Chains A and B, each alone.
Chain A
Amino acid sequence: MIYDITARITTSYIPAAGAGRHVVRLEPLSIPGTQRLIAGEVRADPPPDERLDRTDFFGNAVTECAYLAGLDALTFSLRATVERLAQPVTLDLSPPLPRLAAELDERPSLAADAPHHFLAASDRVAPLPAITRYAREVTAGASTTLETVRALGAALHRDMSFDPSATTVETLPIEAFEARHGVCQDFAHVMIAALRGLGVPAAYVSGFLRTLPPPGQERLEGADAMHAWIRAWTGIETGWIEFDPTNDCLAGTDHIVVGYGRDYGDVAPVRGILRLSGRQKGTQAVDVVPRP
């Protein structure tokens, strides 16, 4: 499936902010066998005084923009064409959860996709006893790591309601969990906290969702803005799998990956540091259209 993607993220500053430097992570990844970036361009408006394009530790595309003078509004936009390849059905060769730690030890690596990066607390997501307890209860019957991930995702989908007005980008996983509501970012953070609590390495995935569903299917939640789901390491054989707790499904051809990180902080679409900034207001518009 080939998609044309456009996204715009606009921030207004009241009053105008001072000089600033921003890192932008909007451009989809190329992942051999899964996803191919055919064309992509990230633009900044107004044009920045400095611009640098590079990749970060996890391999995500980063655009760094600096402004020497103040701004009252700033827009970052993406136009991209991405091919998303259908995946063969995942065979569950993952070990039972208690054996996962031993398999982890057999993978001594610091490479970007090494599971060790994703097991400990990160800035925004630490394992929490309440969430770990919940995770143990809802996955009690699972016999493999993969089943554990799916059971946990299904339970979160069942127990948490999708509510775009309830949380912000700064909401902590424990707050979303206790209130049992949130947006895709909250679903992902809670699920990552739960998986880490169980000893399963779990990453945050930022990306896009197909805007309109194929004929006869329901529209997925989270398609109007950037989406988020999780990636879990299920052992040496089965490796990483991606699961979308907001929609209770494995990530498939409707999901387009922009970046991987330990939590939202690693892959935030825009992270900026400004001198003298006051209030700010943001808007997002995303359109993901499949080619016929």
Chain B
Amino acid sequence: MTGDGEQDWSGGYAPQPGVPDELMTADGSIRPAWAAFHAHLSRLDRDELSRRFALGDQYLRDAGVFFRQYGDPDATERAWPLSHIPMILGRQDHGAIEEGLVQRAELLERVMADLYGAGSLVRNGQLPARLVAQNPEWLRPLVGLTPRGGHFLHFLAFELGRSPDGTWFVLGDRTQAPSGAGFAVENRLATSRVFPDFYARGDIHRLAGFFRRFRDGLNDLKGAEAERIGILSPGPLNDTYFEHAYIARYLGFMLLEGEDLIVRDGRVMVRTVAGPQPVDVLWRRLDSRFADPLELDQASAIGTPGMVGAIRSGNLTMVNALGSGVLETRAFLAFLPRICRALLGEPLKMPNIATWWCGQTAERDYTKANAHRVMIGPAMSQRLPFEDEETTALGAWARDSARQAVDDWLDREGAHVVGQEAVTLSTTPAFVDGRLRPRPMTLRVFLARGAEGWRMMPGGYARIGLGDDPTAIGMQAGGSVADVWVRADESVSPESMIAGPATFTRARRGVLPSRAADNLYWLGRYVDRAESAIRMLRCYHLRLAESGERPAPILDRIAGYLAQYGLDPRTEPIPAGVCATLDAAQASAGKVRDRFSVDGWTALTGLARAARDSTDRLAPGDETARTLGELLRQIAGFTGLVQDNMFRFTGWRFLTIGRALERADRMAAVLADFADPGAPAGSLDVAVEAADSVMSHRRRYAVETNRATVVDLLALDTLNPRAILHQLGRIREQVGCLPGAEVEGQMSDLSRAVLRAHTGLAVRMPADIDTPVLTDLRREIAGLSELLGRDYLR
């Protein structure tokens, strides 16, 4: 600690010998790009810094940023590991990187065009035939097809490292369906909350302009105004699904899955609640071979049969073109330097990691002789060296164990193996154990094609290594991620996704995919199903608290009612069935996350968690009743958000219909059990309480409950939002607004059935409504659900 309250966070910070550090030069002085930030940091004391880091973490939690890991079913959602100290790039570094990568993007485009076109690279011996012909990512059905807009590649990512001499090099090209751009935005939002005052100074490049240009570029790819752009995601089980939903919301594109799409007459169509609608540009986030089970991987359950045919017909632009994963092949890195000279007539401006394909004698011999300083891994791998811990090992390690074995292996399997220089990386500061320490890093940057050609995102994200081993292989252990700031010379204007004020247009109303409608409908049903069950459970426990150990027929009645839904209040205070219903609600919402506000999602996940957490060790009776009341308030919080904040688009209608339908059905079931003449004493009060209508009853009838008042209030009173008739009215209103509610002046089957149910009930008197009538009504309501499913959700 220094005087004047200045903090010396970098005290003891020392770059490793021979390893360049982003913050400090070898002699310990702060690099110019970092100077202002370093000074800013020194004015923050320990408490202030902790408080700010917590703000950033809080932002990520609130935003629901997580990532999912395949093969780890227990930890499905993991917190995003933000390293709060940004990595700062000076203008010169940024310029050099952009220049090198724009050339590389152009080169990759040319290689792609050749591999799926003339094939001259192979014919002329610039690329070995087997690396292409035996490559699982080279997709034969795409050979000979030129993309509709003329370009194969539109959005690329590159993983970079910095050499000891200070220059940058490429560790790997990400051409298939690069992820991370959305996470870069979230890192930025979180980090700007950690350092709001510094960020507001305004000499750090903003990211929005990059995305706006890319979005405009995609819009230019559409053939006609009426055409649509979608993001094609593998679905919620994918490790980066959060990002797909996030980018879809951020850019205003439809989030689609293979199941949403069908192909008709060579065009890709979205199955929507208003029938099939064409889509013409797909920014795909799934690997090519899964896109079409008919022509590509037959086992794919997430593709669309006929997709390749639509591309062949010239009606679809894929971003990037199917088959672009072949460019990620590790062994290609051995040939790109020469190919660059051949295709572009100039050397690579930024080198890539030195790579030797062991299918060639000289390269194999070199790898054998230098095994102590190469990483040896599979030639056809599309992974980055440090993402491939199973098969990429340091040659030195293998060598120590059995020299001859390695040589024999390379002789036998050489064509399947590459050696790559065991590169070292630069280090950047991370906050570890209360102070800044140098940690190795790689940089992920993004390039997008727009009207003026390739542009690099002025930012990206840095992966920060866990330990201080500065070799690429050391990154296998994982670590954290940091925002990347690019310093500008002058102050930059704040940008956002919305274009200038003059060009105000109201976006065309989107179409609702049937799958999304289905999930919203079931979300509505599950939430109200859970609410109804919790209310009845609370009735049980309140009465249990009153009656104590004495046997009470009403308790048996309630238990009997709950048993038909598989819930037993006697064995578990909050039955597992309730948690399962809330989990189902959350799962439905999870499949349409792009349609949810962050608040709505947080409320729902909080609710499901609260139910799960409170299942243990609750005493039956009063304590359980109180907890159930707590859950009801949380449900009200969620439904209130939906009712108050959700835009009244078609999706909201399906959610509303789901809730109304479930509520009408449950109310009918409650009346059938508790307003039956044979029901035990106290049943009518249970019905009123389960309908949350105790106050209404008191005000409206000013008498004790009797069968007539209860049936009137809970079945027929249109002013009571819990009454069946009120719910049927809501359903009728919403169904009337759905596409196809009327076909050439004729009511649809669904509209007709809703009208029949609604009027059928409306004309009844309370005395008519006995248990058989209620049972018939429930059957009618189930019929509405089936018609809705048939006409809109499949």
B residues in contact with A107, CB < 8 Å: 129
> Which of A57, A120, A265, A273 is in CB contact (< 8 Å) with B143?
A57
| CB-based nearest A residue for B313 | A52
Q: Complex Cα distance A50/B119, Å?
A: 33
B122 engages A108 (CB within 8 Å): yes
Number of A interface residues in the complex (CB < 8 A): 28
> Which of B123, B134, B293, B305 is in CB contact (< 8 Å) with A120?
B134
Q: Which residues in window 559-592 of B have CB below 8 A to A? A: none
B263 engages A21 (CB within 8 Å): yes
* B 288-310 binary contact with A (CB < 8 Å = 1; else 0): 00000111001000000110010
> Which of B129, B134, B141, B298 is in CB contact (< 8 Å) with A271?
B298
B130 engages A116 (CB within 8 Å): yes
A117 engages B133 (CB within 8 Å): yes
A273 engages B293 (CB within 8 Å): yes
B170 to nearest A CB, angstroms? 26
B residues in contact with A108, CB < 8 Å: 122-125, 128-129
Q: Complex Cα distance A116/B702, Å?
A: 89
A116 engages B129 (CB within 8 Å): yes
B314 to nearest A CB, angstroms? 13
B264 an interface residue at 8 Å Cβ cutoff?
yes
A250 an interface residue at 8 Å Cβ cutoff?
no
A218 to nearest B CB, angstroms? 37
Q: Which residues in window 107-147 of B have CB below 8 A to A? A: 115, 119, 122-125, 128-130, 132-134, 140-141, 143-144
> Which of B115, B119, B144, B264 is in CB contact (< 8 Å) with A109?
B119
Q: Complex Cα distance A23/B306, Å?
A: 10
> Which of A54, A110, A272 is in CB contact (< 8 Å) with B129?
A110
Q: Complex Cα distance A144/B295, Å?
A: 37
A64 an interface residue at 8 Å Cβ cutoff?
yes
> Which of A64, A120, A123 is in CB contact (< 8 Å) with B309?
A64
> Which of B115, B125, B134, B306 is in CB contact (< 8 Å) with A21?
B306
A residues in contact with B141, CB < 8 Å: 56-57
A109 engages B129 (CB within 8 Å): yes
A107 to nearest B CB, angstroms? 7
A265 engages B134 (CB within 8 Å): no
B185 an interface residue at 8 Å Cβ cutoff?
no
Q: Complex Cα distance A68/B271, Å?
A: 13
| CB-based nearest B residue for A116 | B133
B residues in contact with A111, CB < 8 Å: 119
Q: Which residues in window 300-338 of B have CB below 8 A to A? A: 305-306, 309, 312
> Which of B133, B295, B298 is in CB contact (< 8 Å) with A110?
B133
A68 engages B264 (CB within 8 Å): yes
A114 an interface residue at 8 Å Cβ cutoff?
yes
| CB-based nearest A residue for B124 | A108
B47 an interface residue at 8 Å Cβ cutoff?
no
Q: Complex Cα distance A66/B122, Å?
A: 37
Q: Which residues in window 243-260 of A have CB below 8 A to B? A: none
Q: Complex Cα distance A116/B309, Å?
A: 26
A74 to nearest B CB, angstroms? 15
Query: Which positions in B face A, CB cutoff 8 Å?
Result: 115, 119, 122-125, 128-130, 132-134, 140-141, 143-144, 262-266, 293-295, 298, 305-306, 309, 312
Query: Which positions in A face B, CB cutoff 8 Å?
Result: 19-21, 23, 50, 52, 54, 56-58, 64, 66, 68, 107-111, 114, 116-117, 119-120, 123, 265, 271-273
Given contacts A52-B266, A56-B140, A117-B133, 19 further A-B contacts (CB under 8 A): A19-B262, A23-B294, A23-B295, A50-B264, A57-B140, A66-B264, A108-B124, A108-B125, A108-B128, A109-B119, A109-B129, A110-B115, A114-B129, A114-B133, A116-B130, A116-B132, A119-B133, A120-B130, A273-B293
